[in-house]
Chains A and B, each alone.
Chain A
C-alpha cells in the first residue's frame, strides 16, 4: 500500500480544483455541478462546498447522478442503484461532472448517457481527483484533474475520506 495523497495534499488539491473551476469567471446561472454516485459524491461535496465558500453570494447548482441503470455490464454483474437528485435543469447549461477516480472511462460514458436523459446541456466537462492514465478503455479525458498517477490493472486506487487520504493498493 502506498499513500498517494496525504490529508494536507488532499485538502490543497480540492482547493486548487475549486479555484481552477471558477478562475475563468464561471457563470453560476448557467453552470450545474453534478457528482457521480456513489463514490464521486463525497469529492463533489467537498469541491462544491469550497466553491460556495469562495462565492458565498452565488447560487451554486449541484445535483447527484446515479449511473447504475446505464452501465454496459448489466449481464455480467448487477449493481445496486443509488439516489439520483437532479433538481436543476441542465438544458443549454454547462455541466461539470465530478468523480473521484477516472480509470477505464466507462463510468463517465454511462454518466453521459444518463445525463442526456435529463436534457441537452450546452457543454459537459469532467473534473476528477485522480486520473489513472494509460488505463483508459474509451476516449475520455478530464478537463480538470487533481493528480495524474501511473498504476497497473491489478492495483486499486481508493480515496479514504475518513482518513482524508488517497491510497494505491
Chain B
C-alpha cells in the first residue's frame, strides 16, 4: 500500500485510503515516541529543507523534530535574513537549495498555491506546511488523529469549526478531510468571517450562533482570529467578538453533554477561546501538538520512498 500522490499539497488531493494510511502509520510513530530511544533510522539518507516564508512556531518545530526523529538531515530556511530580501525568486531559491542535493521540501508560504507552483517545476517531494488561506494538510491530519483518539472514529462524528473560517487554511484542510472520512461538519462564526456559498460548495452546515453550534457538535475546533490577514475590519472589536462568538466556560458548562475542544494554536486567550476552557479537561490542545510530530513523521516517511 502506498500514497496515491508524490507530494502532500493538500487534503484535497488525497483519497480515503491515503488518509487512513497516514493516520495508521502515525499511530505506529506515536508508539515510537514513547520508547526510551525516540528515534528510528528510516530516513537517514534523506535531506529535507524546511522553507518557511511565513512565521511559525509549532509547525516548524514539529516538522524539524519529526525529521530528526526519522534520522533525516535538515536545513532550516527562513525568508527574513535570506537572499529573498535581495529579490531572489521562489523558484531560484529552491533550485539553488536543491542543487545541493536535497530530497524533500517542507514549505510554508503566505501565497495560496505556492507549493503547487513549486511542485510543477522541481523534482523533489513537497510537503505543504500551510499556504496562504488555502490548506494546512498536516494540521488537518493531526486534528483527525486527535479526534479519532478521543472518540474512536471519524465516521458520523459531528465537528463544528468555529471562528475565522474565511482566512483559515486549517478550516479548509479540516473540511476536506472530515467530509472524506464521513464526519458531519458545521462552520460557525460571524457572517463576515464565513465565505459565501461554503454550504453549497462543501456540503457543510452553516451556523451563526456559537451556542447552537456547541449544542450540535461532538467536537469543537476553535480557530484563531487571523488579524494579520484581515485588511479591513470584519468585526468591531476583539472584546465584542469574545462576547458574541468566543467559546467561554459558561457556554461549555451549560451544555448537557461532554464535548472535545481543539485549537490549532496559537491561541488568542480571551478572544476566540477562554483560558479556563483552553486549559480544561475538554481541551485536546496539547495532545494535538503531540500528535503533530507523529503525523508529520508518517507523512515524511510515506513520501520518502516515492521517486
Where the two chains meet, the residues of A that have a C-beta atom closer than 8 Å to any C-beta of B are: 66, 68-71, 74-78, 80-84, 113-114, 117-119
CA distance A69 to B302 in the complex (A): 11
B35 lies within 8 A of A118 (CB): yes
CA distance A114 to B36 in the complex (A): 12
B82 at the interface (CB under 8 A from A): no
A117 lies within 8 A of B304 (CB): no
A78 lies within 8 A of B31 (CB): no
B37 lies within 8 A of A117 (CB): yes
Contact with A along B35-47 (1 / 0, CB 8 A): 1110111110110
CA distance A74 to B301 in the complex (A): 8
B39 lies within 8 A of A117 (CB): yes
Which of B28, B32, B36, B43 sits near A74, CB closer than 8 Å? Answer: B43
Instruction: State the Cβ distance, A110 to closest chain B Cβ, in Å.
Output: 9
B1 lies within 8 A of A117 (CB): no
B35 lies within 8 A of A66 (CB): no
Point out the residues of chain B lying under 8 angstroms from A78, CB to CB: 2, 301-302, 304-306
20 interchain pairs, CB-CB under 8 A: A66-B28, A69-B41, A70-B41, A74-B43, A74-B301, A74-B305, A77-B305, A78-B2, A78-B304, A78-B305, A81-B25, A81-B28, A82-B28, A83-B28, A84-B28, A113-B41, A114-B40, A117-B39, A118-B36, A118-B37
CA distance A69 to B70 in the complex (A): 8
List 11 additional A-B contacts (Cβ < 8 Å) besides A75-B46, A77-B305, A83-B31.
A69-B29, A69-B32, A69-B301, A70-B41, A70-B42, A78-B301, A78-B305, A81-B24, A84-B28, A114-B40, A119-B36
B253 at the interface (CB under 8 A from A): no
- The 5 A-B pairs at the shortest CB distance, nearest first, are namely A69-B40, A117-B37, A78-B305, A81-B28, A69-B42
Point out the residues of chain A lying under 8 angstroms from B35, CB to CB: 117-118
CA distance A150 to B186 in the complex (A): 63
Instruction: State the Cβ distance, B271 to closest chain A Cβ, in Å.
Output: 40
B19 at the interface (CB under 8 A from A): no
Instruction: State the Cβ distance, A127 to closest chain B Cβ, in Å.
Output: 24
CA distance A22 to B39 in the complex (A): 34
Given A80-B1, A117-B35, A75:B41 Cβ within 8 A: no
B307 at the interface (CB under 8 A from A): yes
